[in-house]
Amino acid sequence: MVNTILLLSVALMAPILDARTLTGPTHNKVVVCYVATWANYRNATVKYEMKDFNPDLCTHLVYAFAALDPTNHTIKPHGYKTAVDMKRDYPHLKVTIAIGGWNEGSEKYSNMSSSPESRKRFIDSVVAFIDHYKFDGLDLDWEFPSKRGGRPEDKANFVALVKELKDAFESKQYLLTAALGAGKDTMDTAYDVAKLSRYLDLIHMMCYDYHGTWDGVVGANAPLRGTSEDDVLSLICMDLMNNTAWKKFWDEKSATPYLRDGDRVVVYDNQRSIALKVKMAVDYGLGGVMVWSIDTDDTKGVCAEELDALTDIYARFNKMLVDPLVTKAVKSLGSGNKNHNYKGQYYLIHNDKLELRLLTRGNTNYPLMEAINQAMVISLEEKRIMAEVERITNTNVIDKKDKRGDKPGAASILSSSAVTLLFCLFFIGKSIRLSFAFVVYDVTKEDIIETSP
């Protein structure tokens, strides 16, 4: 059924393909790539070393994890030179160290954050650690305040810890980020997001592990709308090639691919589901995307190219193709107007017609990471085009009113402003609570509005 949908989409207007290659993030969004230190200890087929890392695909590299010494509340040293040395050859790359993780638990962090004295010991050790190893900053991955052996006051103590870290980082311009659990119960119990957002540079929403071995039924682990550490995409592909009993399926409701062999089910992310998540991040105006973890991509190039990878991009293009306002908008954006400066990488006008030019890849290392960066640029272009369509439409409406001599009254202007304000408040409230995998929320002081109930 997937192939049929794809062929029907292409039949309307097949996009023109070319052989350009992706040389790195060419957009203005953040792509945060975690790398798991234990990936180095996997079996040879899926072993991952820092020499395998491709810095062109990410804006930030988070080395996960450092550990907390439970006795003196200081950060434990480890070998980080290879990761930090990446910055020398790739100056665009920010390399930070993550502390915490699931295996670290919560109790140590609860104790450390419980008093100003223990927080200061920790912060002093972090600053010395970052200075010594030349990291760009720290990522906090406390899983989770007030849970798993923590205490109720962890929620407030976590805010105090983050504020004091930010104060210590300010003069050195170190980055401070945090990975937050995205489940509603965890969000409500563990975090004061409005206050945290004042001090964090980026908030990484961990929108996965919604289902796992703890459930009585199988569900999508990281749905758009569970697993062992060896669940790497290349392993899934090899199992699929070696066992023809596996059948591929697509769950439309959660936008999730899965494999089934009788009672065995594997739920995972592919290029199509990743691209849809990126599209949603762009539509909601988020700061970018976070990937846990880059070492679980098909870094060896084992997987065959998936036929449905571009299904949804084709579908959106076909809708745009039959709307004359879209073509007009792309022409307007590319007209040389100094206020536009639009140079489409994927959407452009050729022989007076709208075209979508996609990259041809075939088999490749890092297919999911490349899908992220391609989908990011495409989604940003689509958003800008549709904004221009709206501008043209509104201009036409105003022109018609001017010709009739209509003038909006004060009441209608006030009403419009009120609706806009309500929409903004709704958007701000929702954007930090998306049930969405790989989300990064770009935090500025203006982004969060606190309101009293």
Stretch (H or E) spanning 206: strand 202-206
Q: Report yes or no on 103 lying in a domain.
A: yes
How many angstroms separate the CA atoms of 56 and 76, rounded? 30
CB 142 within 8 A of CB 112: no
Q: Name the catalytic one among 143, 381, 382, 388.
A: 143
List residues bridging with 291 in a β-sheet: 33
Note the pLDDT of residue 306: 80
Note the pLDDT of residue 447: 42
Pick the closest to residue 392 from 293, 445, 324 (CA basis): 324
For residue range 72-106, what is the model confidence (pLDDT) as tens digits?
888 876 668 888 998 888 999 999 999 999 989 99
pLDDT one digit per residue (tens) for the chain, 453 residues:
322 222 222 223 333 333 333 345 889 999 999 999 888 888 887 889 888 899 999 999 999 998 888 888 888 766 688 889 988 889 999 999 999 999 899 999 999 999 999 999 999 999 999 999 999 999 999 999 999 989 999 999 999 999 999 999 999 999 999 999 988 889 999 999 999 999 999 999 998 665 555 444 444 444 555 344 455 666 777 777 776 788 889 999 999 999 888 888 888 899 999 999 999 999 999 999 999 989 999 898 888 778 788 999 999 999 999 999 999 999 999 865 555 556 788 999 989 999 999 876 656 789 999 999 999 999 999 999 999 999 999 987 766 666 666 554 444 333 333 333 333 333 333 333 323 334 455 554 444 333 333
| Total of domains in the chain | 1
Q: Report yes or no on 3 lying in a domain.
A: no
Instruction: Give 258's contacts (C-beta < 8 A, 6+ positions apart).
Output: 220, 248, 249, 250, 251, 265, 266, 267, 268
Range of the domain at 31: 27-225+271-295
Pick the closest to residue 380 from 5, 55, 30 (CA basis): 30
Q: Report yes or no on 59 lying in a domain.
A: yes
Q: Report yes or no on 167 lying in a domain.
A: yes
Note the pLDDT of residue 32: 97
How many angstroms separate the CA atoms of 368 and 295, rounded? 11
The number of residues making up the chain comes to: 453
How many angstroms separate the CA atoms of 8 and 315, rounded? 9
Q: Directed axis angle between helix 311-321 and helix 367-404, to 10°?
A: 20
Q: Report yes or no on 343 lying in a domain.
A: no
Please count the other Cβ atoms lying within 10 Å of the Cβ belonging to residue 97: 24
Q: Report yes or no on 264 lying in a domain.
A: no
For residue range 129-139, what is the model confidence (pLDDT) as tens digits?
999 999 999 99
Instruction: Give 355's contacts (C-beta < 8 A, 6+ positions apart).
Output: 15, 16, 347, 348, 349
Q: What is the CATH number of the domain that holds 172?
A: 3.20.20.80
How many angstroms separate the CA atoms of 362 and 294, rounded? 20
The secondary structure of 356-407 as a DSSP string is EEEE---S-S-HHHHHHHHHHHHHHHHHHHHHHHHHHHHHHHHHHHHHHT--
Q: Report yes or no on 7 lying in a domain.
A: no
Question: Is residue 306 annotated as part of the catalytic site, yes or no?
Answer: no
Pick the closest to residue 291 from 103, 52, 24, 62 (CA basis): 62
Q: Report yes or no on 21 lying in a domain.
A: no
